[in-house]
């Protein structure tokens, strides 16, 4: 249940100390020396206030793969990581390629209450790449879908990609492309490079990503439509996006936390927690995507949260599933890789993890920390050191690449539309939303 809160002495976007008053699910006032009769006061000295985080790329698995995750368990994980909204990818069973399925996902999110769930629709029927899905029906449904992706699969057919870009223009939609040439990555097990050669594993070449991005930015320019590039991972991809933006093409791009921090050297231990698509890349790529995020070439950080049952990871490398869970660790990894290194300030983190994802996904009510805005707020303690453990995970799967790793900081409070979902660093077990 939304209650009156006074957040006292918080560092607004990591800068000046301020008080924030929340009433009736809205940020009522921001200033100094604020109070409200009967309000709950949060002593936020030393904490950083950010607009509630928004993830443009989350796999919630429901319907169909509830052994890995459900909308409830996934949004609990999201809240624990400071997220107040997540965009749910369509690779469910049935695939979210119709108005009925996306409306079901929306309803499941509303019932859970831990975060706003905004469905992403599939570009093609069944994500098979053969014919366009019901894009218009999903856009006019109660879910009001504006982002479409076949993530997990590339929309490889150039004509279908062109038609999709043309179609979504009419309702200001965006096509989010999983950039992977399937012919260049057949049987690929990791990044193609020195490490793959030494290990004898089939390589996933950078050009398989870069060639699709190059094609698609030109298609987007040709039809005058919006393109979003999912989980960009190579130095060459950064260069292409930088070129396209200078040319005025309406393209945005995301990078995952793991591509900001981890490299293909970790594959040497054959630990399948590090198996992901696109794969972990070279140190040179990590540095390039950090630079691209810092200079605005890359617009957002998105988790690509991809839960799997233990049996799909506790097996030989070649048989293991691709993917990592990332909601609970994302802000801490961005803190370590971007803020602690001086590449971003906290105001920049608010931009790439809240304002820009909400803008790209056309999600109203998120991304702003100002009077009159819906009360979606994350309070983060940057001073707390710690080791990331399974106790930090709140979903159904534990395939995190950060287990046992030192990560700075901790989410202390998450407030979703005025309802507290994390309090004093502890996930609220039973929400009172009515």
Q: Which residues are catalytic?
A: 304
Nearest to 262 by CA among 282, 244, 278: 282
Query: Could you tell me whether strands 48-51 and 377-381 are parallel, antiparallel, or unpaired per DSSP bridges?
Result: antiparallel
d(C-alpha 268, C-alpha 167), whole Å: 44
Q: CA separation (Å) from 126 to 95, 143, 286?
A: 6, 19, 33
Contact 176/244 with Cβ under 8 angstroms?
A: no
Nearest to 18 by CA among 32, 7, 37, 4: 32
Asked if omega into 267 is within 30° of 0 (cis), the reply is no
Residues in the chain, total: 434
The 10 Å CB-count burial string (b at 16+, else e) for 58-97 is bbbbbbebbebbbbbbbbbbbbbbbbbbbbbbbbbeebbb
The tokens for 16 are 């000046």
The tokens for 329 are 């660790």
d(C-alpha 254, C-alpha 15), whole Å: 26
């Amino acid at each position: 249940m939304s209650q009156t809160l006074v957040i006292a002495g918080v560092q607004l976007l990591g800068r000046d100390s301020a008080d924030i008053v929340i009433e009736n699910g809205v940020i009522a006032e921001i200033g100094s020396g604020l109070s409200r009769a009967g309000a709950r006061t949060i002593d936020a000295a030393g904490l950083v206030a950010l607009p509630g985080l928004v993830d443009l790329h989350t796999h919630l698995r429901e319907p169909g793969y509830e052994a890995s995750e459900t909308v409830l368990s996934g949004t609990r994980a999201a809240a624990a990581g400071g997220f107040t909204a997540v965009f749910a990818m369509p690779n469910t069973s049935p695939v979210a390629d119709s108005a009925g399925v996306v409306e079901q996902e929306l309803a499941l999110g509303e019932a859970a209450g831990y975060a706003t769930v905004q469905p992403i629709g599939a570009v093609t029927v069944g994500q098979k790449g053969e014919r366009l899905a019901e894009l218009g029906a999903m856009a006019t449904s109660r879910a009001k879908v504006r982002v479409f992706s076949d993530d997990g699969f590339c929309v490889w057919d150039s004509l279908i990609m062109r038609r999709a870009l043309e179609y979504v223009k009419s309702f200001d939609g965006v096509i989010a492309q999983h950039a992977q040439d399937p012919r260049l990555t057949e049987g690929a097990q990791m990044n193609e490079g020195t490490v793959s050669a030494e290990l004898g594993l089939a390589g996933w070449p950078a050009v398989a990503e870069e060639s699709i991005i190059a094609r698609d930015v030109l298609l987007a320019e040709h039809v005058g439509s919006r393109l979003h590039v999912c989980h960009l991972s190579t130095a060459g991809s950064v260069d292409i996006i930088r070129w396209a933006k200078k040319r005025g093409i309406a393209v945005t791009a995301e990078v995952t936390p793991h591509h900001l921090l981890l490299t293909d050297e970790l594959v040497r231990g054959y630990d399948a927690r590090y198996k992901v698509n696109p794969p972990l890349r070279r140190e040179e790529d990590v540095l390039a995507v950090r630079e691209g995020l810092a200079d605005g070439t890359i617009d957002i950080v998105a988790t690509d949260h991809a839960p799997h049952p233990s049996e799909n990871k506790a097996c030989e490398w070649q048989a293991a599933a691709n993917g990592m869970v990332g909601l609970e660790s994302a802000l801490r990894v961005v803190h370590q890789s971007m803020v602690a290194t001086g590449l971003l300030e906290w105001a920049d983190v608010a931009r790439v993890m809240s304002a820009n994802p909400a803008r790209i996904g056309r999600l109203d009510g998120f991304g702003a920390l100002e009077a009159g805005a819906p009360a979606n707020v994350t309070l983060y303690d940057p001073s707390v050191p710690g080791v990331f453990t399974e106790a930090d995970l709140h979903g159904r799967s534990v395939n995190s690449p950060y287990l046992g790793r030192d990560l700075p900081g901790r989410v202390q409070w998450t407030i979703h539309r005025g309802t507290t979902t994390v309090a004093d660093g502890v996930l609220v077990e039973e929400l009172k939303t009515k």
